[in-house]
Amino acid sequence: MFHGKMKAVTFSFDDGVQDDKIMIKMLDKYGLKGTFNINTGRMGLVRRQPDPRFTTPNHDADHSEIAAEEIKEVYKNHEVAVHTVSHARLPKATDEEVIRQVEEDRKTIESLVGYDVVGMAYPYGDVDDRVAKLIAENTPIWYGRAIPDTSDFYDLQADNLLQYRPTVHFSKPDVLFPLAEKFLAEKNPEKPMLLYVWGHTYEAEGYEYWDKFEEFCKMISGKDDTFYGTNREVFECIRNAK
C-alpha cells in the first residue's frame, strides 16, 4: 500500500511562519516528513503584536511569515502546498475568487520551489462541496486537508481526497499519544492505517510544547513497518491503490 507497508505517518502545518524552521529541524532529526501550506500573499509579513492565544510569560510565538527568497531552502526536504493567497475563507467567496485564491497561490509556490503543486490545506479548515468541486474542475489540485471535525482514526478516506480529515492536532498530547500508542501496537493491520498529524508550528512555541512534541517524534519514528512521507507522497499511494 504505502510502498509495501500497511502503515504511514504524515504531518501538515499551516501559514508558513518562522517556527516552521524549528519544526523542520525536528522532523529532519527523526526522519519524518511533512507538508507546509503557505499564503504567498503574506510572505515576509512581520507580525509584531503578540497573539494572546499563544503567548505565555516565557514565550511569544512568532507569527511572522517566511520570506519568498527563503521558501525553497527552508522547505527543501518537505512539501510546500497551497493555503490560498490571503488565507481566505473559501465557502464565503465567489466562484471566481475561490479559483483565484487557489490558482495564484499555487502558481507562485511553483515558481519558488520548482515542482508542480497538487495539494492544499483550507484556511480555517473551511471547505464545502461547492468549493471542492470548483477546485477539482478548475485547478490541478487533487488533494486538500479539511479540519472542522478531526477524525481521530486511521482509516483512509480514498473517496474524498479533496476534503480529507486528519487524525489529530499535534498540540493535544492527551489524544495524540494514545492514538500513537495504538497505531504502533498494530503490528499486522488487516487494512492500511494513516496517522495524519496537523497544526500550526507557532502553537508549539506559545504552548511551550516543543519538548513534548519531540518526545512524540522520537516515539513514532524509525519503525520498519511504517512509511514516512509528505501529504502528497502518502495520498499518491492512496490514489494509486483505488
**Which domain range does residue 113 map to?**
7-241
The answer to whether position 1 is within a domain reads no
pLDDT score at 232: 98
- Residue range 68-73: average pLDDT? 98
107-148 residue pLDDT tens: 999 999 999 999 999 999 999 999 999 999 999 999 999 986
Give the whole-number percent of the chain exceeding pLDDT 70: 91
CATH code at 18? 3.20.20.370
CA distance 78 to 76: 6
Nearest by Cα to 201 from 8, 4, 15: 15
CA distance 33 to 35: 7
Phi, psi of 175 (to 5 degrees): -105, -45
Nearest by Cα to 9 from 31, 36, 37: 31
Does 49 score more than 80 pLDDT? no
pLDDT score at 50: 58
CA distance 7 to 225: 7
Residue 46 C-alpha cell reads as 512581520
79-103 residue pLDDT tens: 999 999 999 999 999 999 999 999 9
183-221 residue pLDDT tens: 999 999 999 999 999 999 988 876 778 999 999 999 999
By CB atoms closer than 10 A (0-12, 13-18, 19+), residue 138 is middle
The answer to whether position 2 is within a domain reads no
Alpha helical stretches, state H, 83-172:
95-113, 129-138
pLDDT score at 4: 95
Does 48 score more than 60 pLDDT? no
Total domains in the chain come to 1
Angle at 15 between CA 12 and CA 19, to 5 degrees: 80
Q: How confident is the model at residue 154 (pLDDT cuts 50, 70, 90)?
A: confident
Residue 156 C-alpha cell reads as 483512509
Does 75 score more than 90 pLDDT? yes
Q: Residue holding cell 486528519?
A: 166
pLDDT score at 42: 93
